[in-house]
Amino acid sequence: MYCNYCGKVIQDDANLCAYCGTRIGAIVARKRLVRPRVGRKIAGVCLGISEFFDLDVTLVRLPLLAYLIAWIVMPEEPKLLPAAPAAAPERVAG
């Protein structure tokens, strides 16, 4: 079988072209949002979202990775302390 997009020879049962990454056949998206047991990296959340919405898993992982990096790198705004109460004037004995 040949890829319709890049023209390379691929396996007959392939869902994605190994050369250009294009989906070859019509893949049925999952009906439920679940974390798959096969093919996941850490917990399978990104893979489950990508299969549910029929997206490439990289498109789900990149924004998450960017968020985690920004969370670590970006400093928090400075903590604002309440203003100290004004001191009462001292009384002079006299």
From 31, 59, 57, select the one nearest 44 (Cα to Cα).
57
Q: Number of C-alpha atoms within 13 angstroms, CB side, residue 88?
A: 3
Residues spanned by the domain of 59: 31-72
Pair 43, 35: CB distance under 8 Å: yes
Banded model confidence at residue 81, pLDDT cuts 50, 70, 90: confident
* 94, pLDDT greater than 60: no
Q: Looking at the structure, tell me whether residues 42 and 17 fall in a common domain.
A: no
pLDDT at residue 32 in the model = 85
Domain count along the chain: 2
Please indicate, yes or no, if residue 89 is contained in any of the structural domains: no
Rounded percentage of the chain residues whose pLDDT exceeds 90: 29
Residue 29, pLDDT score:
57
One domain, residues 22 and 35: no
Per the domain annotation, does 78 fall within a domain?
A: no
pTM for the full model? Answer: 0.51
